[in-house]
Structure 1
Amino acid sequence: MYHSIARSPGDATRALSVAPEAFAEQMALLADRGFTPLNTRGLAASWRPGGGPLPERPVLITFDDGYEGVHRHGLPVLAQHGFASTLFVSTGWIKGAYDTGRGLDAMLDWDQVRGLAAEQAEIGGHSHTHPQLDQIPDDALWFELLRCKEIIAEELGARPVSFAYPYGYSSRRVRRTVREAGFAQSLAVGNGLARRRQGPYALRRVTVRRTTGIEEFERLVEGRAIARNFARDHALTKGYAMVRRARQVRRKAIRSRV
């Protein structure tokens, strides 16, 4: 799971931004080690009953949000290797007619999104305004999903079939609504390998950061020592999950009194 690719990222995206040279080195490693990148749609299709076999050493390359550096720095490298990928866009952050002005850094425009789609990038949904979907009421959740889907279909001429949860957060209600909104599969974070048993609406990914060196990257894609790499993240996530559940209960109580 990537976010921004940039030499001089802003403060809001710095930790999850990868330097262009690091990204190129990481993609070269995938090629040298014989990995076969595929998109999210392809992985989910292979894991459904009757799906075809996965390619040799499959790996997903995914990008969240829609930062401009994915086109500027990522696209030439992906095209060089002939790699498939998936870009999950928050439609209200993409420059153009639907821009809410809330993007965290330099964002893609729709021509650049189309350019990525032309080079084997599947374009998936990532909501419209990038909220924590499990913390918003049903009407707002439906708006975020359907507005995102509608805009992508209008701009690209095809409805998106894959989705990624903003911040990686979901719940049973969110996953059910994503399915009912017409998305065939969706990705979380979880910092673990994707497994068939996770089901098509909770597939895990591992985070690639600015501090991820090439040796650590190799361990991640080989599936080695992932738990140790993200032990601190898992501990923080569990603690924050308790805080978020308490906030959600409080909000529900307030709404019930209104």
Structure 2
Amino acid sequence: MTGTRVPILMYHSVATEPNHATRTLSVTPEAFAGQLAVIADRGLTPLTTAELAARWRTGRPLPVRPVLITFDDGYEGVHRHALPALAEHGFPATLFVTTGWIRGAHDTGGGPDTMLDWRQVRRLADAGVEIGGHSHTHPQLDRLDDTRLRTELSRCRDLVADELGSLPVSFAYPYGYSSRRVRTAVRGQGFAQALAVGNSLARRAQGPYALRRVTVRRTTDTEEFERLVDGRAIGRTFARDRALTKGYTVVRRTRGLRRTV
């Protein structure tokens, strides 16, 4: 099944009343529960990021209809609202934590909304949620020099290991931005796979450090969600997003060239 295309769903906040900063990329608890019901009704099989990558790496077969449920940043609603819904269906998921945003001894105070604390992260891990890395302070990694890049990655990796007792093996790039240098650094810090955004289906040919995801947000209704998990019309759904992303990529590259002149 090397040609299998897999929907990797990217969630952020699950909240009834998110703040302004997180509203667009949040979903309500009711919407999230309904989306899991769609996954169950369609007979899809959720996997963790580590399991998908390991199967592609070793050639082990995938389920007939695989799907990944992932969360970025570490919002408190993942424990409060998402975990009970996942448990109801027995679905695994992956949470990518920005370690400097998790409440507790390592908190930098930068979290954009109410974040998880480490006790809740441990409860999620104990419930079968894979905990991956998402940097320490959520910067644009491809804009950092080598020293800061290594610090962001190693600090995140080490804090997850210290708090959970095992090293994280999966990573998600903040904002989805990466480069060859960033991907090499992520691999060098011991992460075995990493997720971008891209708003398209993941394929083995993308390589383990550039697997693409599709964004689930507050405006994603049931019909659109069904298209996402079925892999239908994704290009049309995210056409505007891709155009904006390409434009912003050109701007960022131009700024980078100016800084080197």
TM class by smaller structure = over 0.9
Residue of structure 2 equivalent to 1:28: 37
Letter in 1 for 2:252: R
Letter in 1 for 2:147: D
Could you list the structure 1 runs, at least 4 aligned residues long, displaced by more than 4 angstroms after superposition. none
Letter in 2 for 1:47: W
Equivalent-residue separation in structure 1 for 2:186 and 2:256 (angstroms): 19
Residue of structure 1 equivalent to 2:160: 152
Q: Deviations over 1:33-73 (max 9, x none)?
A: 1011010000001101x342112311000000000001000
Residue of structure 2 equivalent to 1:11: 20
Residue of structure 1 equivalent to 2:52: 43
Letter in 1 for 2:235: A
Aligned counterpart in structure 2 of residue 237 of structure 1, from 213, 224, 245: 245
Equivalent-residue separation in structure 2 for 1:212 and 1:125 (angstroms): 26
Q: How far is 1:119 from its partner?
A: 1.4
Runs (5+) with no aligned partner, structure 1:
254-258
Q: How does 1:21-100 map to 2 (within 5 A)?
A: 21-48=30-57, 50-100=58-108
Aligned pair count?
A: 252
Q: Deviations over 1:130-153 (max 9, x none)?
A: 000001100000000000000000
Task: Considering Cα pairs closer than 8 Å and 6+ residues apart, tell me whether 1 or 2 has the greater RCO.
Answer: 2
Equivalent-residue separation in structure 1 for 2:258 and 2:120 (angstroms): 42
TM-score using structure 1 length? 0.96
Runs (5+) with no aligned partner, structure 2:
1-9
Q: Deviations over 1:158-180 (max 9, x none)?
A: 00000000000000100011011
- Please report the RMSD computed on the Cα atoms of aligned residues, expressed in angstroms: 0.7
Equivalent-residue separation in structure 2 for 1:16 and 1:214 (angstroms): 16
Identity of aligned residues (%): 72
Q: Deviations over 1:195-244 (max 9, x none)?
A: 00000000000000000001100000000000000000000001000111
Q: How far is 1:120 from its partner?
A: 1.4
